[in-house]
């Protein structure tokens, strides 16, 4: 018995002209569900595949970000360096000594970098936390949702293909050799080593790939200033709904489990068929909600893998 049979059964009851009140489709479905006669669809689990990757020669068209592998400091605490570079100029925008990869700390680092250098057009990362989330729609995380709200496109490399972020990985090799061996006594002292490395890397080290120039000679801040995010509205949808802190939206008496990564964000909902609602975030369609059945079907992944070229590094 499939989900589509509830309306058909209701129609048969109507045609028989029985002297009973015609039940709602949801009532028919409830009876079928009670007797285990309904197939229960499952939301497709996201599987990381990577996205379309761009290439550019202009500063701020693309930034690359990653955590260099953790290492132990002299005080026995671990350091997780969060690094951000400009793809075209190789300019090292930030190398922050963090004690964890939790998204709260990554937010603070990126906000400071955005204030100092402006906004890029896109950011390329791997599929790890906090850049992506394996349990969320399309692998989005709170961090990547924030980037989208700022008008920054997201790029993700294909799992197991670090060469797709090769320029950034090569910088990591130099960073490891020159700023982590030996490791500093604590995070504060390690940050001092990173700060010195940034200065040398950007202003004193010629790079063969950019014609033996210094990254600082090529890089200029972005003309797109960071001004935070405003209210999100959907004038072409039927209504705008704010996602709750637990990641739900409410349509009528129904509660839809969307994802906590959208908590506090506005989404647009539009009835595209009888009690079938399209749920959208910004320009991206997230899925379809069946108000009668209380089920959600994911839309096609707008960040899905297409042609993944081996970008030049």
Asked if residue 1 has pLDDT above 60, the reply is no
Q: What is the CATH number of the domain that holds 90?
A: 3.30.420.10
Alpha helices per DSSP H over the chain: 5-15, 25-34, 103-117, 142-149, 166-179, 187-203, 215-218
Mean pLDDT (whole number) for 102-108: 96
Indicate if 12 and 114 belong to the same structural domain: no
Query: Is 58 part of any domain?
Result: no
- Beta carbons within 8 Å of 164's beta carbon, 6+ residues apart: 50, 53, 157, 158, 308, 310, 311
Same domain, 126 and 16: no
Query: Is pLDDT of 308 > 50?
Result: no
Q: Provide the 10 A C-beta neighbour count for residue 195.
A: 13
Token couple for 187: 């995070």
Give domain status of residue 228, yes or no: no
Residue 15 lies in a domain: yes
Domain shared by 104 and 157, yes or no: yes
Q: Is 255 helix (H, G, I), strand (E, B) or coil?
A: strand
Cα distance between residue 130 and residue 125, in whole Å: 10
Q: What are phi and psi of 262, to 5 degrees?
A: -100, 5
Instruction: Of 258, 244, 254, 262, give the one whose Cα is nearest residue 297.
Output: 258
Look at residue 72 and tell me if it is in a domain: yes
Q: By the 8 A CB rule, do 74 and 90 touch?
A: no
Residue scoring higher pLDDT (251 or 179): 179
Whether residue 61 contacts residue 122, with contact meaning beta carbons closer than 8 Å, is answered with yes
Domain of residue 12 covers 5-34
pLDDT value at 3 more than 50: no
205 and 243 part of one domain: no
DSSP 33-56: HHTT-S----PPPP----------
Residue 20 domain-assigned? yes
Task: Note whether residue 226 is domain-resident.
Answer: no
At residue 184, the pLDDT reads 98
CB 86 within 8 A of CB 198: no
5-58 pLDDT per residue, tens: 667 787 788 787 777 777 766 567 656 756 667 555 455 555 778 888 998 999
Q: Does 68 lie in the same domain as 191?
A: yes
**What pLDDT does 206 receive?**
93
């Amino acid at each position: 018995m499939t989900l589509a049979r509830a309306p058909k059964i209701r129609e048969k009851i109507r045609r028989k002209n029985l002297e009973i009140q015609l039940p709602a489709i949801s009532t028919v479905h409830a009876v079928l569900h009670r007797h285990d006669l309904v197939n229960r669809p499952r939301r497709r689990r996201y599987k990381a595949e990577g996205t379309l990757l761009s290439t550019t020669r202009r500063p701020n068209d693309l930034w690359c970000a990653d955590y260099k592998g953790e290492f132990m400091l002299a005080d026995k605490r671990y350091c997780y360096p969060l690094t951000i570079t400009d793809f075209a100029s190789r300019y090292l925008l930030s190398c922050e000594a963090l004690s964890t990869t939790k998204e709260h700390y990554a937010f603070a680092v990126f906000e400071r970098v955005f204030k100092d250098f402006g906004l890029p057009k896109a950011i390329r990362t791997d599929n790890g936390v906090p850049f992506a989330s394996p349990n969320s729609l399309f692998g989005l995380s709170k961090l990547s949702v924030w980037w989208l709200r700022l008008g920054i496109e997201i790029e993700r490399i294909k799992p197991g293909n670090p060469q797709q972020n090769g320029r950034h990985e090569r910088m990591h090799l130099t960073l490891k050799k020159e700023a982590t061996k030996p490791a500093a006594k604590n995070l504060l002292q390690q940050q001092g080593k990173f700060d010195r490395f940034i200065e040398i890397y950007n202003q004193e080290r010629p790079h063969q790939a950019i014609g033996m120039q210094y990254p600082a000679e090529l890089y200029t801040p972005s003309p797109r200033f960071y001004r935070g995010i405003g209210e999100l509205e959907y004038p072409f949808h039927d209504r705008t709904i704010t996602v709750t802190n637990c990641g739900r939206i409410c349509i009528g008496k129904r509660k839809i489990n969307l994802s906590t990564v959208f908590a506090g964000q506005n989404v647009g909902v539009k009835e595209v068929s009888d009690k079938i609602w399209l749920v959208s975030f910004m320009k991206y369609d997230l899925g379809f909600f069946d108000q009668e059945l209380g089920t959600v079907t994911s839309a096609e992944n707008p960040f899905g893998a297409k042609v993944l070229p081996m970008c030049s590094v």
